[in-house]
Amino acid sequence: MNSPYSIAGATYFGTNRPTPNANSCTGNLGQARAYKFPLFCTGTPESIVLDSGGMPPSPVGGLVTIKVDGVDKVVPFIIGAGKGGSPFEAERPRPPIPPVRTRNFWKIDNSNR
């Protein structure tokens, strides 16, 4: 297993499983997988088999500023989550929690008036 990375409510990591071949005297790279585990029990874990085999690189991510219609916009990204079976293709993580927050209730304490 490689180093995990958490972003947007999920933890990403990769693993490698040997795949022995009984008819061959040479080794192979095995099966590489990328995993996505939700942090807040909002979904089911996902995995994808990577095309490359071998030990996948640790996922990396962060925030990047891009121009959209002439306006700077900050968007999250992750590389190594297994999009399209590639350990190197970047994707935009989608948080399971909506970015807009609303108050469910109000409590006014009038005891000090």
Structure confidence by residue, pLDDT tens digits, 27-78 = 688 899 999 998 877 778 899 999 878 889 999 999 999 998 999 999 889 9
Q: Convert the pLDDT of each residue in 78-98 to its tens digit.
A: 998 888 888 889 999 887 666
CA angle, 44 as apex, 40 and 46 as ends, to 5°?
A: 115
Task: Indicate the number of domains in the chain.
Answer: 1
In terms of residue numbers, what domain contains 44? 5-91
In a domain, 106, yes or no: no
Q: Is residue 48 part of a domain?
A: yes
Any domain includes 62: yes
- Confidence band of 113 (pLDDT split at 50, 70, 90): low
More confidently predicted of 70 and 99? 70
| 104 occurs within a structural domain | no
Is residue 99 assigned to a domain? no
**Domain contains 98:** no
How are the residues of the chain apportioned to helix, strand and coil, as percentages rounded to the nearest 5? 5, 40, 60
> 108 in a domain, yes or no?
no
Q: What is this structure's pTM?
A: 0.74
Q: Is residue 27 part of a domain?
A: yes
Helix (H, G, I), strand (E, B) or coil at 84: helix
